[in-house]
Amino acid sequence: MVGWRVAAKICGLGTAHDVAVAARCGAQYVGFVFYGPSPRSISPETAKALAVPLPKSISPVAVLVNPNDDDLRKVTGAFPRLLIQLHGTEDLRRVAEIKGKINCPIIKAVSVETSYDVIQAKRYQEVADMLLFDAKVSDLNSLPGGNAVAFDWQLLAGGSWSVPWILSGGLTVENVADAVEVTGAQAVDVSSGVEDAPGFKNGDKIEEFLSVTQTL
């Protein structure tokens, strides 16, 4: 991590221009989505080409939803280095199984609506290298992430965790400072908050968001 305290992940990238903006403006992580129903989904081959120019200081993150072993092989085979973000309903056993199959750090996304969800998330500290807290959505047609929905940040206030964690869910340039102040997050994740429409990133919004996180 570079000199500032709060790291940033720009997720759902799909063009060389947007990846270059994220890298130039100070993102520590760039996320590529491999989930067909998402408007941000791209192929492993496309993501590999986008990740080639990245310096070693920036980590590519592969976002998968309930992947099978073949999905994992395709994605991990495309990258020399990456983190795997599991953003589905993978249980403790499946996360441990995946971690045993691949030589990549695992980020487990956890959907949060109540304090019970936060308590349940603690179990994943046993098997995941990092956690990511996102808002739980009740609409069955909603995507697992990237829905521009926030949750009650007070649920994470004062919490103690044995692994690093990332705050996600409805973050924007207008609210990210408050979100960090309330939760104490040391890393944040944004997707819809830097878009003009689902799947269409705005380079100016990426730059503005990262300029704020660098002051936190």
What is the DSSP code (8-state) at residue 81? S
DSSP reduced 3-state for 38: coil
What residue has token string 């081959």? 45
User: Which has the closest alpha carbon to 48: 65, 34, 27, 38?
Assistant: 34
Q: How far apart are CA 186 and CA 8, in angstroms?
A: 9
User: Which has the closest alpha carbon to 166: 27, 17, 22?
Assistant: 27
* Active site residues per annotation: 11, 134
Helices 92-101/69-76 angle, 10° precision: 40
